[in-house]
Amino acid sequence: MAHGSIGRLQGAGLLATTLLGTGVFILPGLTLSTAGGAAFWLWIVLTLLAVPVTLVFGQLAGSLPHAGGPAHFVQVAFGEIAGRVTGLLFLLVVPVGAAAALWMAWSFIEPWFGGAPWHALLAQYGFLGLFYLLNRVGFQLSAKLQLTLTLAIAFAVVLLGVLAWPQLHGVTPALPVMADAPALSTAIALGFWSFLGVEAMTHLAQDFKQPQRDMVPALLLGLAVVGVLYLLCTWLLWQLSPNPTAPLSMAEAFGLVLGPVGTVLIAALGLASSLAGVNVYTASVARLCGSFAEQGVLPRGLATKNAHQVPERALVFMLLLMALLITGATLSGQQLADLISWVNGVFVFIYLAAMAAALRLLPRRFKPIALLSLLLCVAVLWTLGSSIGYAVLLVLVCTPCVWWQHARRAASVIADTSAAP
């Protein structure tokens, strides 16, 4: 049965740009700085580890397409309270993460506009306005644009490799050894987050033409594209860097090979990729907000949909919340990037809940993959340490509130039933 207008290739492009974000131009250099040539093999391992989690999310979204995404899966598996707490975690963490990501997006063009705080503030307000215009007409336009962006990034990286070929050293990175373990663990912590974002795509399952058929192939194809691009970028930086202990950044590599044109190109692609990632999260959180409004968790006025079947009031509400956070961070002089590790802890909680739900909901043949994915998420949670504090705090605050709302609604239903003649 057809649900929306997004096809398989467009879905792959959406996931690819969501996962790439700012990372494709930053993380390869960071992982090389941390782990040296072993970072090349690290990206292969990380891509393979992301496959089971991606497959599980694709199966869940294809079988149970719903704007609630992971919150809906958890609700079906474990009940209303667990599902709504999971959804509120997503609603409360996305605006913080999005605001931090927009600050990083601004950094790509800051050299051309000056570093005054009000410049950054106006630019980020402009980004939010762009998200509104793109999302209020449905997600097909964004899907087409982001597929084009994915192809543009891939073309730019391949072009860099072709033009840099005469300068490459031809040295194969050595396999990691036990002595590299501390550096590798740090690099893994950096690299793992480049693969967070699959959960956002599940909120858009109803926007796919045939989610049951297309979700899994789209997500796996998008993941493969991202893995190959990270691997290629890391290899190119390793080959181009004159000093392996101080590898070039992607911006420096493009500047070295293409000159000033390369600097402008990476700024444009970095900005567009950053905005594309936030755009998917904006669409996802707006749909979840609208779904919760329909269920009465949030004010019902937020559930109103426009002619394009987009919960426009929910979209505006979430964008205003992002604007509020951006303004507060700018006026206080604090950078929201400092909260990213706490934000990541919340996402791992959401992943854990979704993988546990998959163990209950998916057919028997998928349960080993769901169990493996659950164990991977537990391992990542363990590595976060005190960074899970924000996630634990949100759970402790949200659970009593959702339980009270649930109990109040149940009491109201009982009272209405008793009063009926």
Q: Does the residue 232 lie in any domain?
A: yes
Q: Give the pLDDT means over successive 10-residue stretches in the chain (421 positions).
A: 74 87 78 80 87 95 92 95 93 86 84 79 94 88 86 90 80 57 64 78 89 93 92 87 75 87 88 89 92 90 91 96 88 63 83 96 95 91 78 90 85 62 56
Under a CB-based contact definition with an 8 Å cutoff, are residues 157 and 226 in contact?
no
- CB-based contacts of 128: which residues, under 8 Å, 6+ apart? 102, 319, 322, 323, 326
Q: Which domain holds residue 107?
A: 9-66+95-336
- The number of distinct structural domains making up the chain is 1
Q: What is the pTM of this model?
A: 0.85
The DSSP output letter for 249 is P
Separate counts of helices (H) and strands (E) for the chain? 16, 0
Which pLDDT score, from 0 to 100, does residue 418 have?
A: 59
CA separation for the pair 323, 240 (Å, rounded): 40
Sign of CA dihedral 171, 265, 151, 271: positive
Q: Which domain CATH number covers 151? A: 1.20.1740.10
The pLDDT score that the predictor gives to residue 2 is 46
* pLDDT tens, position by position, 309-361: 899 999 999 999 999 988 987 787 665 555 666 777 888 899 999 999 999 99
Examine residue 352 and state whether it is found in any structural domain, yes or no: no
pLDDT in tens, 168-216: 766 666 655 544 556 666 667 667 667 778 888 998 898 898 999 999 9
The secondary structure of 180-199 as a DSSP string is GHHHHHHHHHHHHGGGTTHH
Residue 367 falls inside a structural domain:
no
* Residue 216 near residue 59 (C-beta atoms within 8 A): yes
317 domain residue, yes or no:
yes
Residue 28: inside a domain: yes
Asked whether residue 379 is assigned to any structural domain, the reply reads: no
- Find, among 22, 70, 50, 92, the residue nearest to 273 by Cα: 22
- Closest by CA to 379, choosing from 53, 87, 93, 90, is 53
Backbone phi, psi, residue 136, to 5°:
-70, -20
- Residue 347 maps to a domain: no
Is residue 385 one of the residues assigned to a domain? no
